A and B are shown apart, each in its own frame.
Chain A
Amino acid sequence: MPKVVVDVMPKPEILDPQGKAVLGALPRLGFSGVTDVRQGKRFELEVGGEVTDEVLEQVRQMAETLLSNPVIEYFEVRVEQDA
Chain B
Amino acid sequence: MKVGVVTFPGSLDDVDAQRAVRVGGNEAVALWHGDHDLRGVDAVVLPGGFSYGDYLRCGAISRFSPVMTELVEAAGRGMPVLGICNGFQILCESHLLPGALIRNDHRRFVCRDQRLRIENTRTPWTSSFAEGAEITVPLKNGEGGFVADAETLDRIEGEGQVVARYLDLNPNGSARDIAGITNERGNVVGLMPHPEHATEALTGSGTDGLGFFTSLVEQTFA
Interface, chain A (partner B; CB < 8 A):
10, 13-15, 17-18, 20-21, 66-67, 69, 71-72
Cβ of B186: which chain A residues have Cβ within 8 Å of it?
Answer: none
For residue A71, give the distance in angstroms from its CB to the closest CB of chain B.
4
Interface of B is mostly: loop
A-B contact count (CB 8 A): 36
Contact A15 B149 (CB under 8 A): no
Cβ of B173: which chain A residues have Cβ within 8 Å of it?
Answer: 15
Interface, chain B (partner A; CB < 8 A):
56-57, 60, 64, 92-93, 98-100, 102-107, 145, 147-149, 173
Residue among A15, A20, A67, A69 with max Cβ neighbours from chain B (10 Å): A69
The 8 Å CB contact of B92, one of A10, A13, A14, A71, is A71
Contact B103 A71 (CB under 8 A): no
Cβ of A17: which chain B residues have Cβ within 8 Å of it?
Answer: 102-107
Cβ of B106: which chain A residues have Cβ within 8 Å of it?
Answer: 17
Cβ of B57: which chain A residues have Cβ within 8 Å of it?
Answer: 69
Give 6 A-B pairs besides A67-B56, A71-B99, A72-B100 with Cβ atoms closer than 8 angstroms: A15-B105, A17-B107, A18-B107, A69-B60, A71-B92, A71-B148
Contact B103 A66 (CB under 8 A): no
Report how far A18 CA is from B103 CA in the complex, Å: 8
The 8 Å CB contact of B145, one of A13, A15, A69, is A15
For residue B98, give the distance in angstroms from its CB to the closest CB of chain A.
8
* Nearest 10 Cβ contacts at the A-B interface: A71-B100, A17-B103, A72-B100, A17-B107, A69-B100, A21-B107, A69-B57, A15-B105, A17-B105, A14-B147
Residue among A15, A18, A20 with max Cβ neighbours from chain B (10 Å): A15
Report how far A72 CA is from B147 CA in the complex, Å: 8
- Listed A/B pairs (6) with beta-carbon separation below 8 Å: A14-B102, A15-B105, A17-B105, A66-B60, A66-B64, A71-B99
Report how far A69 CA is from B94 CA in the complex, Å: 10
